[in-house]
């Protein structure tokens, strides 16, 4: 299991869709939301993803394909 | 010496010890250095500062070291120039240039942040330093780590300007050219930082490193006679410099070293990489990452770490933002050279180009004091102008050839 801190940026048309939930379910990834910010036209979600390494990457790819911008938070906490 | 209380999360305010930490473990917000300002106020006044040597350590109580600085002892205190010729060219009344194109030792404002970062890294006991860089940081980390006898790993995008590569390699670091843009380099470095116990100046030393940029703001005020100008134009990449200039001015006000701040801060970026400027123009405090495409490589950060704080700085100060095309960047570089004799790099072209635009738009009033931040040196980005400044006139070594090619023409 790994943890990854990411920032998700949603375009307007995706703000109302439960895409994070779908991704979490489909790839067996646990999202742990730390901060969120939504304006009229764009949404931002800062969270930690916990799961199998490859599954997290697949989940990120899934979101990216839908039009969500996925940016790593630089950098991840050194453990 | 040493007025650091600890680190504090910029988002939720949670406190942390003064270690090489950089992300809040609760909200993932960035950490910032927290000082004992009451103690500083007792120690620091104008006379104390003015008596000290002319380098950035004259403000040492406001920098995050516990002991004496060991690196970058000659950095900072660069010239602040009244730009009389440029005033005429732009039709404005009072124009200044803060000229970090001649900073020591590597000719950019990054010498400030690296002086602080490496002094802190030594204090923490690291023997190896590293950075991800768009060029200037690479030069400075390589050079100053050589001075400090630290091992050095530098990561850059592979397509960087030759001047920036040579200006790094000469200091004998391990230079890693990554096939990708800066944001990809940075992403890779955050993975590497997890595996190696290095002082990554812009990752795990970042809260300390960033504080070095405050000295750019302190010097502006001190050199103007302990006064802040009405308008400051700052080039933005990650958005740290602009944020820290503003923080620096506010600290001076809190310490009663300047009376008031009547200053608007303006963000300058290249059109080919303007995520911060776009955020400001659209009034969106969510900064949307972009894929950079501009000759201003030193500013080519598509996912700015401090974008949101740059946004807040501009809004809080009542300033604005603008971007300029590659052609406008080159024109501005030539204008600065022709009027003030300063050869700045592409980032300086961005700053002056944006200033010119903001004046033409009426955003910056012509009768107010204006200060332009020139942060890098043109000798490092020569390819940007090589084809655009004409050629030398070739003649044979005799007077007839001179007269034929030049003398006669000039007399006519
Ligand atoms: C010459 C120059 N000016 C300005 C900047 C912008 O600094 P910041 O990343 O703090 O916004 C950089 C950053 O690399 C730079 O190299
Ligand atoms: Zn926090």
pLDDT, one tens digit per residue, over B242-291 is 999 999 999 999 999 999 999 999 999 999 999 999 999 999 989 999 99
pTM: 0.96
Alpha helices in B78-152 (DSSP H): 84-90, 110-124, 136-147
In a domain, A79, yes or no: no
* Contact (Cβ atoms closer than 8 angstroms) between residue B46 and residue B226: yes
pLDDT, one tens digit per residue, over B339-398 is 999 999 999 999 999 999 999 999 999 999 999 999 999 999 999 999 999 999 999 999
Tokens of B154: 């530098």
CB atoms within 10 A of CB B328: 19
* Contact (Cβ atoms closer than 8 angstroms) between residue B168 and residue B154: yes
* Ligand located closest to B28 CA: 2
Q: Which of residues 18-37 of A touch B (CB under 8 A)?
A: 34-35, 37
pLDDT, one tens digit per residue, over B295-340 is 999 999 999 999 999 999 999 999 999 999 999 999 999 999 999 9
In chain A, which residues have their Cβ closer than 8 Å to the Cβ of B27?
34-35, 46
**In this prediction, what percent of chain B has a pLDDT beyond 90?**
95
Query: How far is C-alpha A70 from the geometric centre of its chain's CA atoms?
Result: 6
Quick one: pLDDT band at residue A2, thresholds 50, 70, 90? confident
State how many domains chain A has: 1
Mean of per-residue pLDDT scores for chain A: 89
Tokens of B124: 């923490």
Mean pLDDT of B76-97: 98
In chain A, which residues have their Cβ closer than 8 Å to the Cβ of B186?
74
Nearest residue, CB atoms, B203 vs list A37, A71, A75: A75
pLDDT, one tens digit per residue, over A21-61 is 999 999 999 999 999 998 888 999 999 999 999 999 999 99
Label each residue of B45-88 as H, E or C. Answer: CHHHHHHCCCCHHHHHHHCCCCCCCCCCCCCCCCCEEECHHHHH
Structurally, at CATH architecture level, domain B80-106+211-384 sits in 3-Layer(aba) Sandwich (3.40)
The CATH number assigned to the domain holding A31 equals 3.30.70.260
Quick one: pLDDT band at residue A77, thresholds 50, 70, 90? very low
C-alpha–C-alpha distance, residues B182 and B302, integer Å: 8
The answer on pLDDT for B1 being more than 80 is no
Quick check: bond before A64 cis, omega within 30? Answer: no
Compute the half-sphere exposure of residue B161: CA atoms within 13 Å on the CB side of its CA.
27
Quick one: pLDDT band at residue B191, thresholds 50, 70, 90? confident
Residues forming beta bridges with residue A43, ordered by sequence position:
A10, A38
Tokens of B374: 């020139």
Mean pLDDT of B60-84: 97
Q: Can you give the residue range of the structural domain that contains A14?
A: 2-72
For position B194, what pLDDT does the model report?
A: 86
| C-alpha of residue B241 to centroid of ligand 1, in Å | 7
ipTM over 0.85: yes
**Residue with more model confidence, A76 or B331:** B331
Kindly list the strands in the beta sheet with B369-374, ordered across the sheet, starting from the edge strand earlier in the chain: B80-82, B94-99, B369-374, B231-235, B264-270, B321-324
Test B194 with A43 for CB contact under 8 angstroms: no
- A39 lies within 8 A of chain B by CB: yes
Test B284 with A42 for CB contact under 8 angstroms: yes
Closest residue, chain B, to A4 (C-alpha): B191
For position A73, what pLDDT does the model report?
A: 84
In chain A, which residues have their Cβ closer than 8 Å to the Cβ of B11?
35
The answer on pLDDT for A76 being more than 80 is no
Residue spans of the domains in chain B: they are: 80-106+211-384
C-alpha–C-alpha distance, residues A23 and A50, integer Å: 12
In a domain, A46, yes or no: yes
C-alpha–C-alpha distance, residues A75 and B194, integer Å: 8
- B26 lies within 8 A of chain A by CB: yes
CA-wise closest residue to B236 among B309, B171, B186, B163: B309
**Length of chain B as a residue count:** 412
């Amino acid at each position: 299991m790994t943890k990854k801190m990411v920032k998700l940026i949603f375009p307007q048309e995706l703000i109302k869709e439960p895409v994070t939930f779908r991704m979490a379910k489909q790839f067996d990834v646990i999202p742990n939301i730390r901060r969120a910010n939504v304006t009229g036209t764009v949404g931002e979600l800062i969270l930690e993803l916990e799961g199998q390494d490859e599954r997290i990457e697949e989940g990120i790819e899934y979101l990216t394909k839908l039009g969500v911008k996925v940016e790593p938070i630089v950098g991840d906490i050194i453990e | 010496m040493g007025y650091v209380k600890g680190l504090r999360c910029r988002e939720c305010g949670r406190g942390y010890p003064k270690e090489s930490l950089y992300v809040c473990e609760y909200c993932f917000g960035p950490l910032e250095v927290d000082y004992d300002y009451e103690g500083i106020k007792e120690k620091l006044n104008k006379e104390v500062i003015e008596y000290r040597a002319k380098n950035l350590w004259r403000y040492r109580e406001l920098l995050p070291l516990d002991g004496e600085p060991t690196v970058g002892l000659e950095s900072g205190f660069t010239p602040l120039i009244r730009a009389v010729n440029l005033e005429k060219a732009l039709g404005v009344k009072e124009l200044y240039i803060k000229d970090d194109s001649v900073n020591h030792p590597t000719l950019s404002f990054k010498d400030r942040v690296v002086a602080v970062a490496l002094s802190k890294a030594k204090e923490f006991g690291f023997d190896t330093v590293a950075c991800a860089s768009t060029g200037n940081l690479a030069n400075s980390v390589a050079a100053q780590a050589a001075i400090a006898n630290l091992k050095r790993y530098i990561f850059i995008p592979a397509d960087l300007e030759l001047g920036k590569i040579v200006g790094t390699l000469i200091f004998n670091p391990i230079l890693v050219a990554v096939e990708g843009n800066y944001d990809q380099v940075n992403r890779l470095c955050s993975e590497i930082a997890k595996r190696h116990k290095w002082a990554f100046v812009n990752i795990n030393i970042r809260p300390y490193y960033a504080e070095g940029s405050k000295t750019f703001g302190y010097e502006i005020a001190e050199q103007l006679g302990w006064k802040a100008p009405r308008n400051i134009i700052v080039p933005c990449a990650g958005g740290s410099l602009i944020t820290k200039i503003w923080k620096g001015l506010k600290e001076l006000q809190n310490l009663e070293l300047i009376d008031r701040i009547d200053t608007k801060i303006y963000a300058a970026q290249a059109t080919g990489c303007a995520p911060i400027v776009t955020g400001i123009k659209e009034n969106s405090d969510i900064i949307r990452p972009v894929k950079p495409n501009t000759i201003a490589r030193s500013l080519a950060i598509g996912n700015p770490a401090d974008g949101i704080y740059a946004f807040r700085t501009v809004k809080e100060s009542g300033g604005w933002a603008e971007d300029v095309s590659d052609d406008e960047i080159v024109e501005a570089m030539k204008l600065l050279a022709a009027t003030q004799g300063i050869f700045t790099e592409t980032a300086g072209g961005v700053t002056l180009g944006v200033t010119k635009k903001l004046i033409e738009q009426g955003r910056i009033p012509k009768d107010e004091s204006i200060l332009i931040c020139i942060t890098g040196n043109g000798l490092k980005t020569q390819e940007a102008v090589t084809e655009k400044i004409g050629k030398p006139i070739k003649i044979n070594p005799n007077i007839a050839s001179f007269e034929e090619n030049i003398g006669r023409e000039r007399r006519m």
